Amino acid sequence: MPDAAPRPEPFAPRADPAALADLRARLRATRWPDAPEGAGWSLGADVGYLRELVTYWAEEFDWPAQEAALARLPRFRVRLAGPGGSLGIHVVHARAVAPRGSALPLVLTHGWPDSFWRYSKVVPLLTDPAAHGGDPADAFDVVVPDMPGYGYSDRPGGAPLDSVAVAGLWAELMTALGYPRFGAAGGDIGSHVSRYLALDHPDRVVAVHRTDAGLPLHPGDPAELAPEERAWLQEAAAWGGAEGAYAAMHRTKPQTAAVGLTDSPAGLAAWIVEKMRAWSDCGGDVERSFTKDEILTNITIYWLTGTIGSAMRMYSANSAIPPAQLARRVEVPSGFSLFPGDIVRPPRAWLERTANAVRITEPARGGHFAPFEEPELYVEELREFFRPFRTPG
C-alpha cells in the first residue's frame, strides 16, 4: 500500500523552566571582553550596548509571555521526506478569513539570522485584510515554515540541505497542506528558496516575490553587462570584503563558531544583534527597528532550540550549489521590493536579466527584515504584486 500522506500535527512548544534558569545564570556569568574606547559598532558588536541587552535578557525579558504570543499563531509540525531522511518541519499554517477556495496560498521563507519569527507580524494582515483596512479579495492562506536546522524544525542528520533541496521540501509541504498551486515569497536565503521553487516547480508556482536577488554571480564577460550591473558587481565585492566575514565563517568553519555561540548566550546575542542593526533601516540605532523584546525573542528561539550551528551550516551547503544552477533564469512572473535599508540592492537591469521581472518597487522604509520592520508596507507589496495572479474561487 502507498505511504499515507503527511499529516500536520498541532504544535505548541513550552520552554523547560530549568532551561530558562540556566540561560539566566549563563547571562549573569558572562565574561566580557575589553573594547577600545569609542569603538562603538565599528569593530563588531558594541560591548556597551550588548551589556545593556544581556542585563535586560537576564533580569527583565519575559520569554513565557513571548512564547504565549507566538502560540497565538496556528502552528504545526509535519514530517516530510527529506533528501537524507525524513524531517519534522515546523510550520505556521493560517487560513484566510475569506470564503473557502477564494484565497491565494502563499509560502513565505525566512533567512538568517531568524526563523518563522520574521513573518510573525504579517500573518494576521495577510489572512484577514478586511480587519486591517484592506480588501477581503486580497486574502491569503499563509504558510510559514522554519527551514531545516532553523527554529523548531528538525536539523538534517547528515549533510546540511541547500536552498534547492529546501525548495523541494516546500513543494512537498504545500502538497501535504492541500495546495496544488501557490505563490512564493522570501528574503535572504528565503529569496533563494523561493527562486528554486519557481525554477523547479513552474507548473505550481503562480508567481514569486523577493526582497533581494542575492549576491551576484556572472560567469561570462563583464563587458556583456550594463554599466549599472558592473557597478553592482563591484559594490557587492566591496561589501563582501568589508562585511562578509560572518558568511565566510559560515561557509568554511561553521562548527568552530558554533561551539562558542551554542555555549554563550551573550556571544549568540552579539553574533545576531550586530546583523539586525547593520541590515535594518534603523539609522544606526537598532531599537528604532526592534524593541529589546523583539530582538531577544529572535535570539531566544536560537538559544532554546540550539540551532545556531545547523543554521550556519546551510551557508556551506549553498556554497556548493553548481554555478549552472545559479545562472538559471526564472521565467515564472517575478516581483521585487527593494527596501532602502537592505544590503547590496540590485539594479533593474540585473533583475530583468535574471528573472521575468513584472514588478519592481522601492518602498520608502524598511530593510533586510522588512516583514518585521515594516509589516504594513511589506503586506501591501505582496497584495499589489499577487493581485493579477489570483484566480476566481
13 falls within a domain: no
384 falls within a domain: yes
6 falls within a domain: no
- Could you read off the pLDDT of 246-260 as tens digits, one per residue? 999 999 999 999 999
7 falls within a domain: no
Determine the Cα–Cα distance for residues 343 and 325; give it in Å rounded to an integer: 23
C-alpha triplet 30, 34, 35: angle, nearest 5°: 125
Q: What is the pLDDT along the chain (393 residues), one digit of tens a residue?
A: 345 678 899 999 999 999 999 999 999 999 999 999 999 999 999 999 999 999 999 999 999 999 999 999 999 999 999 888 899 999 999 999 977 668 999 999 999 999 999 999 999 999 999 999 999 999 999 999 999 999 999 999 889 999 999 999 999 999 999 999 999 999 999 999 999 999 999 999 999 999 999 888 777 788 889 999 999 999 999 999 999 999 999 999 999 999 999 999 999 999 999 999 999 999 999 999 999 999 999 999 999 999 999 999 999 999 999 999 998 999 999 999 999 999 989 999 999 999 999 999 999 999 999 999 999 999 999 999 999 999 754
Determine the Cα–Cα distance for residues 42 and 167; give it in Å rounded to an integer: 37
3 falls within a domain: no
C-alpha triplet 129, 375, 121: angle, nearest 5°: 80
The C-alpha cell of 38 is what?
569609542
354 falls within a domain: yes
Return the pLDDT at 273: 98
How many domains is the chain built from? 1
- Enclosing domain of residue 297: 20-29+40-389
* 144 contacts 92 by C-beta, under 8 angstroms: yes
Residue 341 per-residue DSSP state: B
Return the pLDDT at 100: 67
Beta carbons within 8 Å of 380's beta carbon, 6+ residues apart: none
Q: Give me the torsion for CA of 13, 367, 309, 122, rounded to 10°.
A: 20
Q: What is the DSSP string of 44-99?
A: SS-HHHHHHHHHHHHHT--HHHHHHHHTTS-EEEEEEEETTEEEEEEEEEE--SSS
- Could you read off the pLDDT of 60-119 as tens digits, one per residue? 999 999 999 999 999 999 999 988 889 999 999 999 997 766 899 999 999 999 999 999
9 falls within a domain: no
Return the pLDDT at 331: 98
* 359 contacts 303 by C-beta, under 8 angstroms: no
CATH number of the domain to which 236 belongs: 3.40.50.1820
- Residue 141 forms beta bridges with which residues? 105
334 falls within a domain: yes
* 8 contacts 89 by C-beta, under 8 angstroms: no
Position 332, amino acid = V
Position 14, amino acid = R
- Could you read off the pLDDT of 23-45 as tens digits, one per residue? 999 999 999 999 999 999 999 99
Return the pLDDT at 73: 98
Q: What pTM, to 2 d.p., does this model score?
A: 0.96
